[in-house]
Amino acid sequence: MFDDLCPDAVHHRPRPGGGPALRPLPAAARGVLDPARCAAAREEIAAWPEYAPTPLVDLPGLAAAAGLSRIAVKDESGRFGLGSFKALGGAYAVLRQLKAYIGAQTGREPSTAALLAGEHADIARTLTVCSATDGNHGRSVAWGARLFGLNCVIYIHENVSRAREAAIAHFGAEVRRVPGTYDDSVHRAAADAAARNWIVVSDTSYGDYRDIPRDVMAGYTVMTSEAIAQWHEQADAPPPSHVFVQAGVGGLAAAVCAALDQAYGEVRPRLVVVEPETAACLFASAASGRAAAIDGDLDTMMAGLAAGETSLVAWD
């Protein structure tokens, strides 16, 4: 079974330096997602209606077959009814932008409770957020926009399924389909936002566009913080030895890395980032030592990971 799961075609690029000890993260890397930013996201999201931690599910059969003491998977299928960890990031960043927008006009940022009660609805309706997506991030942004009463335009590329398009539109967003790949839709959203004075709420970072993706990533750390607490609910449970995470542009991987570092420091688990072979921009970045972009159609069955350009702030 494991020969089928781990074919020879899997490419591996180990952490530079090798050896058993993990080096401390550089101060600059720790500054991307500092503890205060992550704690603010946890406090905010935990107060939202219908918030509940998603389960960490132990897989004893798989662990026994692999000769390991424990394997667990974080099940995000029930997250706010959106079926993905992405619900934590996009909607949180939408809220942050709306509060700042209203605060700039009134002199004081409103509370989340006030926004949910419909206060400042007249101002909220004058703000439009937009984003590009393969599906789940767009649903999160659209859901957040509907929840807090602002306008939303979502850009999808030509290969996004009609079902994903409908799932985004379900939350009231205007959905625009553009030719090309995910990265083409990112560029189109940014151009239209600049021309129309919209706010881009993207999960990827480019150029000087960095702060909003940091908020998205801070939202993702909620999932990892939950998982760490759930892992240690077993009496005397040692830290996990390895954490595996999928990657598109790298935002989730960076968020998991930050949360693990804040919880465990130099005894943190080894983080293994897994990408599709045809959309491995982080692998290319690791090989070159800098944030890289790859060419091609990025065709992969893992549609949500079909990204060719590494998020700059995630790479940092």
Is pLDDT at 201 greater than 60 in this prediction?
Answer: yes
Under the banding of pLDDT at 50, 70 and 90, the label for residue 9 is very low
Helix, strand or coil, per DSSP, at residue 53:
coil
Give residue 33's identity as a one-letter amino acid code.
Answer: L
Q: Which of 74, 86, 203, 261 is catalytic?
A: 86
Which are the contacts of 164, defined by CB distance < 8 A and separation ≥ 6? 134, 135, 138, 156, 303
Strand 151-157 with 56-58, pairing: unpaired
Is pLDDT at 102 greater than 50 in this prediction?
Answer: yes
Please report, for the chain, the start and end positions of each structural domain, with discontinuous segments joined by +. 43-79+220-315, 86-211
State the Cα–Cα distance between residues 285 and 303, nearest whole angstrom. Answer: 20
Is pLDDT at 3 greater than 60 in this prediction?
Answer: no
Q: Which of 278, 279, 272 is nearest to 257 (CA)?
A: 272
Under the banding of pLDDT at 50, 70 and 90, the label for residue 295 is confident
Cα 16 from chain centre: 25
CA max distance for the chain: 61
State the Cα–Cα distance between residues 276 and 278, nearest whole angstrom. Answer: 5
Is pLDDT at 245 greater than 90 in this prediction?
Answer: yes
User: How far is residue 41 from each of residues 98, 217, 218, measured CA to CA in Å?
Assistant: 15, 9, 6
Q: Give the tens place of pLDDT for each residue, 54-94.
A: 999 999 999 999 999 999 999 999 999 999 999 999 999 99
- Identical fold between 43-79+220-315 and 86-211: yes
Strand 56-58 with 72-74, pairing: antiparallel
CB neighbour class for 64 (10 Å; exposed up to 12, middle 13-18, buried from 19):
exposed
Q: Which of 56, 59, 77 is nearest to 68 (CA)?
A: 59
Q: Give the tens place of pLDDT for each residue, 121-154.
A: 999 999 999 999 988 999 999 999 999 999 999 9
- Tell me, yes or no, if 99 is annotated catalytic: no
CB neighbour class for 40 (10 Å; exposed up to 12, middle 13-18, buried from 19):
middle
Q: Which of 74, 99, 134, 261 is catalytic?
A: 134
Which helix (H) or strand (E) segment holds residue 315: the answer is helix 312-315
Q: In the CATH hierarchy, which top-level class contains the domain 43-79+220-315?
A: alpha beta
Is pLDDT at 1 greater than 90 in this prediction?
Answer: no
State the Cα–Cα distance between residues 79 and 291, nearest whole angstrom. Answer: 31
Average pLDDT over residues 265-276: 91
Q: Give the tens place of pLDDT for each residue, 107-117.
A: 999 999 999 99
Look up the pTM and report it: 0.90
Is pLDDT at 5 greater than 60 in this prediction?
Answer: no
- Give the pLDDT score at 266: 87
- Tell me, yes or no, if 86 is annotated catalytic: yes
Q: Which two tokens stand for residue 114?
A: 């006030």
Integer-rounded Cα Rg, in Å, for the chain is 20
- Give the pLDDT score at 19: 45
CB 158 within 8 A of CB 180: yes
Q: Which two tokens stand for residue 72?
A: 């667990």
Is pLDDT at 249 greater than 60 in this prediction?
Answer: yes
CB 100 within 8 A of CB 148: no
Fold of 86-211: Rossmann fold (3.40.50)
The DSSP secondary structure of 140-178, one letter per residue, reads: HHHHHHHHHT-EEEEEEETTS-HHHHHHHHTTT-EEEEE
Is pLDDT at 2 greater than 50 in this prediction?
Answer: no
Task: Give the single-character DSSP code of 18.
Answer: -
CB 152 within 8 A of CB 128: yes
